[in-house]
Structure 1
């Protein structure tokens, strides 16, 4: 009976992961859109990601503690509500045509997504004991479905309107209806999750702690977790940074129009979706850290080729990175939190703080891209360095845990 209940809960959580992916990836369409409206340079434009992912660092720790008190199901409901409020605030932000107000609305929207992340990831791992990496990769595939469909939605309802108007205020207002529609959908999801009465798995985390008690007083006492936090920082930073600059890179290097570039993002995020469905099956046969090492190594190679070619063909190699990003977040998360038991909620909050990499890394890449002697394509050395760290984590840092617990 408990197995059926867990399967039902996992199925319900797929909607959560879809919504998170859909909301987050719209930033990749917003960045070139707002860059043109407000005449921003690369660094100023990626403040969108800085505010969005900065919310993870500011609120992640607090939400981790909050979940210990209210439980994961209540956290999911609140996360949807906060996200809906942030979407609604896009209406006054667009009416005023103010970039700072847009950034404020994004921060509130992101805070809701942080709560969804903090609750959703450990919720899945506790519902699937022994198959954490495979289960989390499977539900994260629906996150990738959201990131695949999001750019199409954004390109159709946001980017396409840019070409029809000249007035700055009217251009800014093209985001109002899309985000109000999203707000309505999020409120409906909050009501559905509330009515479903999903199981509270906090007691299960305590049981895991009893079997793995080793005198540790916090998640930070586990070295594999600490190194895993670094891997999450660099993974999110690398993935978000590439996604943020892809449309601009296509426009600058291959002279592809913004609307077409936004459509082409489907190959980057769609690759992640396909890879997660494949990875969920593969990791039932091959060790998760082995799969992680392979994917990180391939991404380093793809970026090296893109930089070496330094022409329009580089776009194909950059888009291919999405396929190999696929398993990284769920695999790193499950490896980093394995055996943490009662510290799982705390660990999830800390990991969500590490998602601030999505704020920091694009800003660094944007700064380098604004240096005329280097340029936009050379700035992809920044995400390359991120994947090098992930490769080291998979090959060396995680093996520290395996030797310690052997």
Structure 2
């Protein structure tokens, strides 16, 4: 009898683990879909000769990632109060609401062409509604990240380590990221060059995405997820000290900030850089983004088999490799070189997360939420890059110095920042 119960429990754990991977895929897919909307929105809703166009269009990423520090707190509270299943279900409902706001923004732009003027640039009100939708979906992604990161860290699947499970989850996340540029280019806009997109092309694909996510949400609402002990604060239990007292966690938040910032900066803005250069670079901008995320996927897949190399050594090697490629890309003015950085970025998230939450015990839940705050870097660094590009007259070349600075911090964290004392 006990053997049958144990077998059922094992099957349940593997089933839920698979669902977690699907949700990780969804987070990755919508994160990059949001990023890849930059050029289509720039074409459809922003003035082509504006002097703040790059800054405005990178606000799309900023709105998405602004949700992380603003919503991670109640995401953690939901997880402690409702558990994994209900928290995931609520997050998916919020995601659907965000997609509906996207749709409303497009329809508003088409049928109510109101504009506001910013520094002499007429901007469609529909664009700002779209930014609100980006923020709302970012809230959903934040809550899902809190659930997923914690579950993959503490659940026991065979003989896998926490780092390996994070790598597997990252692989699923990267599959969504890798195919997102192709989904944008071929499924949503049917091969139309990004600079020729018209607003009406958004309408039907967004409706289809809403229907698909409704089906996924109903499925997640029906599955059973086992609770995992020893990582949640017991009801009424007072934690002995602040979660910020752990050095590896505190510096790890900055590690996540810079990592997500530079990951998104390359993935979202390599096509902006390619478009600025023109010629064959511009015509292959979507393929560059797909290659970057594809190499990140390949690296995470291969990294899931790594057992003996410590996380800190992986960080040092990866950050040095990324810095070398960035310098080479700037010297040659070749955005294709930037895509290769995806391979080195692949191991950074799971390595930083594992090092930052190492041996935190009952603080792990709150630590997971605190780490998620660092994801705001994905909005700030690309936005600064866009502002920098506008200041430079639309030239993106020197903006990659910001990414080099982020890589340098990751190198520091792998050398010293991860140490607890």
Structure 1 unpaired stretches of 5+: 209-214
Calculate the aligned-residue CA RMSD, in Å.
2.3
User: How far did residue 263 of structure 1 move?
Assistant: 3.0
Choose from 22, 25, 30 the match for 1:23.
Answer: 30
Structure 2 unpaired stretches of 5+: 1-5, 110-125
Q: Secondary structure at the match of 2:392?
A: coil
Residue in structure 2 matched with residue 381 of structure 1 by the alignment: 401
Q: Secondary structure at the match of 1:285?
A: coil
Q: Indicate if the aligned counterparts of 2:87 and 2:143 stay in contact, CA closer than 8 A.
A: yes
Q: Does 1:10 find its partner at 2:17?
A: yes
Question: Residues 49-100 of structure 1: CA distance to partner in whole angstroms, max 9, x if unpaired?
Answer: 0101111121112212221111122211111111111112211110112111
Structure 2 CA distance for partners of 1:259 and 1:147, relative to 1, 3 Å: farther
Choose from 288, 297, 320 the match for 2:320.
Answer: 297
Residue in structure 1 matched with residue 164 of structure 2 by the alignment: 134
- Equivalent residue runs for 1:1-400 within 5 Å: 1=6, 2-37=9-44, 38-39=46-47, 41-97=53-109, 98-128=126-156, 131-160=161-190, 171-201=198-228, 203-206=229-232, 216-256=240-280, 260-282=284-306, 284-309=307-332, 311=333, 314-372=334-392, 375-398=395-418, 400=419
CA–CA distance in structure 2, aligned partners of residues 123 and 179 of structure 1: 30
Q: Which has the higher helix share?
A: 1
Q: Indicate if the aligned counterparts of 1:65 and 1:349 stay in contact, CA closer than 8 A.
A: no
CA–CA distance in structure 2, aligned partners of residues 287 and 232 of structure 1: 18
Aligned pair count? 388
Question: Residues 129-160 of structure 1: CA distance to partner in whole angstroms, max 9, x if unpaired?
Answer: 87111111111101000001111010124455
- TM-score, normalized by length of structure 2? 0.86
Structure 2 CA distance for partners of 1:263 and 1:176, relative to 1, 3 Å: farther
User: How far did residue 352 of structure 1 move?
Assistant: 1.6
CA–CA distance in structure 2, aligned partners of residues 165 and 268 of structure 1: 21
Larger CA deviation: 129-138 vs 43-52: 129-138
Structure 1 outlier segments of 4+, above 6 Å: none
CA–CA distance in structure 1, aligned partners of residues 32 and 393 of structure 2: 30
- TM-score, normalized by length of structure 1? 0.90
Structure 2 CA distance for partners of 1:106 and 1:328, relative to 1, 3 Å: same
Structure 2 CA distance for partners of 1:257 and 1:85, relative to 1, 3 Å: farther
